[in-house]
């Protein structure tokens, strides 16, 4: 059974940093494109960032460019989301998601068929 497990969420003050992790089990993460999405209260889930299978390609939502960085360590079956200069509007449940296939720029959530349970990130002002 393929599973994704997120960790690293928490409460941080505005301007602070967090690093989220997404660990895959059940298949080598090197076969998967991995994305991060987030959902704030009362809002639709939105794309945050994605990374190709070998880590050579990545995309970011405009709202997080320059502050968030996605990376991966396939030896550890783990993808990371380094979050710097956090803002209150970054408060959301963050989900990692995966699909097996070729990287597609800014692929929507419908392309992803494996999802984690989410981790809460709260940024206080």
Query: Which tokens belong to 40?
Result: 């704030």
Q: What is the pLDDT at residue 62?
A: 97
Give average pLDDT by consecutive 10-residue segment, the chain, 125 residues. 94 98 90 96 97 96 98 96 98 97 90 97 97
For 22-49, how does the pLDDT look when each residue is reduced to its tens digit (9 = 90+)? 999 998 888 999 999 999 999 999 999 9
Q: What is the pLDDT at residue 67?
A: 98
Q: What is the pLDDT at residue 18?
A: 98
CA dihedral over 28, 47, 16, 123, signed as positive or negative: negative
The C-alpha atoms of residue 89 and residue 2 are separated, in whole angstroms, by 31
**Alpha carbon 82 to chain centroid, angstroms:** 9
**C-alpha count within 13 angstroms, C-beta hemisphere, residue 59:** 16
> Under DSSP, is residue 14 helix (H, G, I), strand (E, B) or coil?
coil
């Amino acid at each position: 059974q393929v599973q994704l497990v997120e960790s690293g969420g928490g409460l941080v003050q505005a301007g602070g940093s967090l690093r989220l992790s997404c660990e895959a089990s059940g298949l080598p993460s090197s076969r998967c494109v991995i994305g991060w999405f987030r959902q704030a209260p009362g809002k639709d889930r939105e794309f945050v960032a994605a990374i190709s299978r070998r880590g050579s390609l990545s995309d970011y939502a405009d709202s997080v460019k320059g502050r968030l960085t996605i990376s991966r360590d396939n030896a550890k079956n783990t993808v990371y989301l380094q979050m710097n200069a956090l803002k209150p509007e970054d408060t959301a449940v963050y989900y990692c998601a995966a699909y097996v296939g070729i990287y597609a720029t800014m692929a929507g959530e419908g392309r992803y068929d494996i999802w984690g349970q989410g981790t809460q990130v709260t940024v206080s002002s």
